[in-house]
Structure 1
Amino acid sequence: MRSLLRRRSSDANAPSDALHHVRVDPRTKSLTKRLRAGEVAVIDHEDIDRVSAEALVAVKPTAVLNAAKSTSGRYPNLGPQILVDAGIPLIDDLGPDVMTLKEGTTVRIDGGTVFDAAGSVVAEGTRQDDASVAAAMEDARAGLSVQLEAFAANTMDYMKRERELLLDGVGVPRITTKIEGRHVLIVVRGYSYKEDLAMLRSYVREYRPILIGVDGGADAIIEDGLKPDLIVGDMDSVSDKTLRSGAEVVVHAYRDGRAPGLERVEQLDVPHVVFPATGTSEDIAMLLADDKGAALIVAVGTHETLVEFLDKGRSGMASTFLTRLRVGGKLIDAKGVSRLYRHRISNWQVTGLILAGLAALIAALASTPAGQAFFGILLARFDDIWSWIRGLFGG
């Protein structure tokens, strides 16, 4: 265990004497569902990814206590910098002792040291800042070649195991939702999904695409005022209410038959089908839409770049690379559309709209007897004022 004196001296500017309630869960995704602003998040998350960090920032915790290393050095993950930029203290590499904290108890944080309410040391770690995160990112970039090799190996392995599914659609279940010839919008709770989904509202109104929510993406569809037609995934991050919304449910299972979300769906008595496949849930959503004859597949929040695949922290993300090759020209990524196009109205445009409105109002009034009488009185009054002005100058 590190020296308490050394830790305090290295983090001399840190608070605090305040006690804060903790929420404890090794899974960040599960924790953010019950975490409240002002509480301390206690997680065991190696290589915090961008989506998890953004979910934590949205809740506004007092601090994030991580039992694991927030950056292991395997690849340059994006999460720690997001937390630091948001001003949320990130105490890193605290070890398993911090996970023994009971939910709802209070802790005090002093630099990189965590104390319980009685003042005893629970765990010690490293408080991250801009400099430490930058150094960790530099080291991670140096080791990126190893991850690239692993990614390539996983891609080849997936192609061998899922060749029949990728090439011939073998194993795709039958569903009742009619997709043939329709547009399909697949929503994943990934990067910038809220902004991009909002920008697609006019597209949704015009084309009425089949809406597929991948796990928590189904909740995102409902939050946007829409209703999913299909819910695909292992059901670990979608709410019970959404599962009961009437959408057709496709449970993602492993090739060995295990389906983590099957028991939950059966307990809720929700009709469903099972799709056994090795890849990710967003993969099988794309393969399902393609196999059932979708004319176009629009993806929101999905992973598309190498860094994003690695940032997901799963070797199986290599499957998404091949799935995208399989779907081909049908797939359109909507990611970033909110940054690509924003409505901007200049002052001249606003002035023009006001003048056009006034012109239309005047024309409408002039076409009625009452309007004509009003303009007659107005012109007569103007003529009186003009005569008075001329009289002043003439005098």
Structure 2
Amino acid sequence: MGRMSPRLRPLRNRDSDYAGVSGAVRVDKRTKNLTKRLRPGEIAVIDHIDLDKVSAEALVACRPAAVINVAPSISGRYPNLGPEILVAAGIPLLDNVGKGVMERLDEGDSVHLEGNVLLSGVERICDGDLQDEVSVREAMAAAREGLNDQLESFAENTMTYLLRERELLLDGIGVPDVRTEFEGRHALIVVRGYHYKEDIQILRHYIREYRPILIGVDGGADALIEARLQPDMIVGDMDSVSDSALTSGAEIVVHAYRDGRAPGLERVESLGVTDAVVFPATGTSEDVAMLLADDKGASLIVAVGTHATLVEFLDKGRAGMASTFLTRLRVGSKLIDAKGVSRLYRSRISGWWLIAMLLVGMLALGAALSATEGGRAMLQLIGARLDDFWSTIVGVFT
């Protein structure tokens, strides 16, 4: 039976709008693992409190028939962005159905969503809150009331991280040696985050001209390969990167816990990669990649898909995002978001404007030539040649 978040008003249900949605279920407590095997037309069953933007966009890209969340998609802690993305894409979101649903469903079971009720055959599995544009808007407005608490928590986490990692942040103590040469070169760090596909496409001119060191953060390595770019380095805990990327020849830097435990190292070594580097550090893998590039002398760091604003930090929904905020302060003027670089390379002149400018230039040249005796003679000669050419063409067809 569905449960309501105590901080939100009851959400409206649109029993008729999404009636008749059926499909096989895919069940996983980790949304990013589920999206790897979710196929179009299937129904995703997730356990994701405060569904964030990146996860929602990954779900939309899989084109599921519906999404069932056993947790509240908007808990009221802060105005997270994920539910709005799902609803805008026309994907039914049955919310807050209770954790027992995951035990009652097996991978591949056929289910039917009838309004706000999930059925397996004639058996009622659960009911919940069917989100729509109005309910999401109301829940987001209520969630903004909890934003002050989140800001205070974010500030506390920031101070805790600064005290714990001050030697790494201030002096670079603990950054391991790597074989990739960064000194004096640009570094392009790709995270499978906000608008990463569009940014990579926009940056193709920049990549061809500057040939930056390409760093994929976990699944960001696969994003580079999908764009037909070869990563020079892969940084992360290795939980969301493919085997093919790990064996592509890129240097591997395994992000480990502060005490040295590196769960991802075993997977890397099982693939035959024996020269992986371990980087113990608190925070996120994108922080590790930035600190590494900065410490090894990169002259510029371009970030794709990373977190740039306070809303994005909060939307990720975990205390570790405080480290990303401080890492950006540490890297300072070297760091630039992909959007900024793209503005330098995006053409703002259409093809028709180029043709018009060419015609204007030719007219100006003709006017200049006609103003001199030698120019007039040249124009007459060109005219005679064109007349001969036209006569030849006409003669062929007559």
TM-score range, shorter chain: 0.7 to 0.9
User: Aligned-pair distance for 1:257?
Assistant: 2.3
User: Aligned-pair distance for 1:351?
Assistant: 4.9
| Counterpart-to-counterpart distance in 2, 1:265 and 1:299 | 25
Alignment match, 1:243: 246
Alignment match, 2:369: none
User: Aligned-pair distance for 1:258?
Assistant: 2.3
Matching residue's letter, 1:152? A
User: Aligned-pair distance for 1:203?
Assistant: 1.1
> Quick check: 1:196–1:337 contact (8 Å CA) kept in 2?
no
Q: What is the TM-score with the length of structure 1 in the denominator?
A: 0.87
Q: What is the TM-score with the length of structure 2 in the denominator?
A: 0.86
> Quick check: 2:299–2:334 contact (8 Å CA) kept in 1?
yes
> What is the root-mean-square deviation in Å for CA atoms of aligned residues?
2.9
Alignment match, 1:349: 354
Q: Deviations over 1:24-55 (max 9, x none)?
A: 11111111111111111111111111011111
Alignment match, 1:166: 169
In the TM superposition, 1:355-370 aligns within 5 A as none
> Quick check: 1:97–1:123 contact (8 Å CA) kept in 2?
no
Equivalent pairs, count: 371
Alignment match, 2:371: none
User: Aligned-pair distance for 1:268?
Assistant: 1.1
User: Aligned-pair distance for 1:373?
Assistant: 7.1
Q: Deviations over 1:345-386 (max 9, x none)?
A: 1634345558989xxxxxxxx9xxxx977732636999xxxx
Match of 2:119 among 107, 115, 121: 115
Alignment match, 2:277: 273
| Counterpart-to-counterpart distance in 2, 1:141 and 1:229 | 42
Alignment match, 1:329: 333
Percent identity reads: 64
User: Aligned-pair distance for 1:17?
Assistant: 4.0
> Quick check: 1:192–1:336 contact (8 Å CA) kept in 2?
no
Matching residue's letter, 2:112? R
> Quick check: 1:51–1:190 contact (8 Å CA) kept in 2?
yes
User: Aligned-pair distance for 1:220?
Assistant: 1.0
Q: Deviations over 1:176-224 (max 9, x none)?
A: 1111111111111111111111111111111111111111111111111
| Counterpart-to-counterpart distance in 2, 1:297 and 1:186 | 7
| Counterpart-to-counterpart distance in 2, 1:173 and 1:110 | 55
Partner SS for 1:71? coil
In the TM superposition, 1:222-241 aligns within 5 A as 222-241=225-244
The unaligned stretches of length 5 or more in structure 2 are 4-9, 363-377
| Counterpart-to-counterpart distance in 2, 1:337 and 1:113 | 48
In the TM superposition, 1:1-395 aligns within 5 A as 1=1, 10-17=13-20, 19-100=22-103, 101-116=105-120, 118-270=121-273, 271-335=275-339, 341=346, 343-345=348-350, 347-351=352-356, 375-376=387-388, 378=390
| Counterpart-to-counterpart distance in 2, 1:121 and 1:381 | 79
Distance 1:66 1:377, change over 3 A: closer
The unaligned stretches of length 5 or more in structure 1 are 358-365, 383-395
User: Aligned-pair distance for 1:16?
Assistant: 3.2
Matching residue's letter, 2:214? L
| Counterpart-to-counterpart distance in 1, 2:291 and 2:226 | 25
Partner SS for 1:143? helix
| Counterpart-to-counterpart distance in 2, 1:63 and 1:187 | 29
Distance 1:265 1:171, change over 3 A: same
Distance 1:103 1:379, change over 3 A: same
Partner SS for 2:45? strand
Matching residue's letter, 1:376? D
| Counterpart-to-counterpart distance in 2, 1:201 and 1:380 | 46
User: Aligned-pair distance for 1:10?
Assistant: 4.4
Partner SS for 1:148? helix
Partner SS for 1:269? coil
Distance 1:242 1:376, change over 3 A: same
Partner SS for 1:315? coil
> Quick check: 2:13–2:130 contact (8 Å CA) kept in 1?
no
| Counterpart-to-counterpart distance in 1, 2:353 and 2:309 | 40
User: Aligned-pair distance for 1:260?
Assistant: 2.6
| Counterpart-to-counterpart distance in 1, 2:276 and 2:125 | 45
> Quick check: 2:2–2:97 contact (8 Å CA) kept in 1?
no
